[in-house]
Amino acid sequence: MSVKGGGHNIAGTAIAEGGITLDMSHMGSVSVDLDRRIAKVGPGCLLGDVDAATQEHGLATPLGFVSETGVAGLTLGGGWGYLTRRFGWTVDNLEAVEIVTADGVVRTANRQENADLHWAVRGGGGNFGVVTRFEFRLHEVGPLVTGGLIAWSAEKADEVLEVYRDVTSTAPRELTAALIMRLAPPAPFIPEEWHGRPIIGMLICYSGDDPGTALAPVRSLDDPIADLVDLRPYTVQQSLLDGTEPDGLHRYWKTEFLPELSPGFLDTFSDAALEVKSSLSDSVIFHLGGALNERSSDDGAIGNRDAQFIAGFSGTWPPDAPAEPHIDWVRRSWERIRQYSTGGNYVNFQVADDDTDRLRASYRGNFQRLQEVKAKYDPENLFRMNRNVSPAR
């Protein structure tokens, strides 16, 4: 049996081949409790559903970058996005869940009640039962933020990477900048003569009061070929990347958490990125750090409190094209950057060929405790169509 939220899991764990799939998509309600500053969210919601409902009140909880992703899978694996530097992992804002465990009992899990279960679902994935309600803490955000994409020729890669390193080393928590290298897509905002040529860009989101100061180093870089950084509603910012992830394409990703952007890493990353095989693929570095570094490594199963960045390679190709050049590019590039990893990786970015060692590495010191909670709530491993944590024996 599998459980399907938004259906975005890149390992395809929402579908049980030859088994039963519990499709939660009809449980899509969101209600906002303004007194408690909590959103109660159904497990069928997509990120855009939650942002739309909470932004009506100028509130938000940290969610991911593509509004069509499911809240359930993203949250249960940890969750991060533009607001993570301010408010931590998505699960740092998960106050409670209602969950049906393997014995058929409907339980509430929060910091007081079934606290071990609450700890485990804060990153441990769908291993512990079927979540039927999430409760998220909300924060004042927007409704306007300064954000968008700015891009230059990849001939300026050294200069842009240096500025990216500077910006991220001094960034206020209100600023999240992601770095992207790819072949320019045939998008209307990219001049036609650049289509298919290598570019380097930053995806910006600044949710504070002084964008001029925060973005000054970025603005100091001359000759962008596209500059879409502007004041826009937070909900629009949250769906800016939707068009870059159309349905029906094939994908293969590999990422690592990083403790810093060392010169060696940046050289290696940039060399690997320039070897990309398709204008649908990209290489990315996302800035994390900030609030997520403030808690102890066992505050929720997600751990990885030493992660300052997440970086990796995403190969994308049409279904009728051969997969091998793209998978090969991702794997070779990832092998080159692994030496710079914290040793941890993000469970929600694991693909079907990631093995148990890689799963163990994504939880590091929390893995054994997760197995113990699994043995208590799901000793027969009913919930195993996921990145599976086997019960402790």
Ligand X SMILES: Cc1cc2nc3c(=O)[nH]c(=O)nc-3n(C[C@H](O)[C@H](O)[C@H](O)COP(=O)(O)OP(=O)(O)OC[C@H]3O[C@@H](n4cnc5c(N)ncnc54)[C@H](O)[C@@H]3O)c2cc1C
Summarize as ranges the residues that interact with ligand X (CB under 6 A).
Answer: 2-10, 13-14, 24, 43, 64-66, 69-70, 72-74, 76-77, 79-81, 125-126, 130-131, 245, 348, 385-386
Give the Cβ contact number of residue 185 at 10 Å. 16
Q: Of 43 and 224, which has the nearer Cβ to ligand X? A: 43
Q: Which is nearer to ligand X, 281 or 386 (CB)?
A: 386
What six digits make up the tokens of 315? 């190969």
Q: How far is the CB of 237 from ligand X (least distance, A)?
A: 12
Considering the complex, what minimum distance in angstroms separates the CB of residue 11 from ligand X?
8
Return the SS3 of 6.
coil
Based on the number of CB atoms within 10 Å of its own CB, is 294 exposed (0-12), middle (13-18) or buried (19 or more)? exposed
Distance of CA 282 to the CA centre of its chain: 15
226, β-bridge pairs:
151
Residue with tokens 């690997």: 272
Compute the least distance from the CB of residue 10 to ligand X, in Å. Answer: 5
Query: Whose Cβ is closer to ligand X: residue 79's or residue 211's?
Result: 79
Minimum distance from residue 288 beta carbon to ligand X (Å) = 10
- Cβ proximity to ligand X: between 67 and 157 the closer is 67
CA distance 163 to 168: 8
Nearer to ligand X, 100 or 144 (CB): 100
Cβ at position 27, least distance to ligand X in Å: 8
DSSP-derived secondary structure for 141-198:
--SEEEEEEEEEEGGGHHHHHHHHHHHHHH--TTEEEEEEEEEPP--TTS-GGGTTSE
